[in-house]
Amino acid sequence: INQCRDFCQNGGTCTASPTGSPTCRCRPGFTGPNCNLPTCHNFCQNAGNCTVNRGNQPICRCPPHFLGDQCQYRVCDETCENGGTCVQEGDKDIQCLCSSKFTGKRCAVDKCHYCNGGSCTNTAHGDVTCRYTYTCTHIHTHIHTDILPH
């Protein structure tokens, strides 16, 4: 029995398996167990233009006034503070996408405010942390780090 006969579609390459179903390696632009699904099918929203990168992952180029990895956010005129971006997804309420140092509905709260005198530093992941130095019974000095709320 030839497991691979007509198994992969759209030019996919089939590899037979001695223990189960064959597998397909899809050509760019196609995905799915049989390479039967266009990679970009219904991926981009709001008339975004979909292309496929070298890893066969969909990438959207959004029309004006839309953003997000699938063009799912409509840019709105709502004012966000401290460099935040105002967006609206479908008919949902508007929201502010804040930079890593700020939080709150309008990005008005500086996360470093929560440090209460501790030093506020940026992390490798783009967030901020508080560092506190304190001494216990004159024996050891300790440094405590808190990840701040989003």
> What confidence tens digit (pLDDT) does each residue in 53-84 have?
988 999 999 999 898 999 998 887 667 899 89
pTM metric for this prediction: 0.53
Residue with tokens 């995905």: 31
Angstrom distance (rounded) from CA 4 to CA 22: 7
Mean pLDDT value of segment 139-148? 51
Longest dimension (CA), the chain: 79
Domain boundaries, the chain: 1-38, 76-147
pLDDT at res. 31? 94
Amino acid at 116: N
**Residue 18 pLDDT exceeds 70:** yes
Angle of CA points 116, 122, 124, to nearest 5°: 145
Mean pLDDT value of segment 5-24? 91
Fold of domain 1-38: Laminin (2.10.25)
Angstrom distance (rounded) from CA 50 to CA 106: 31
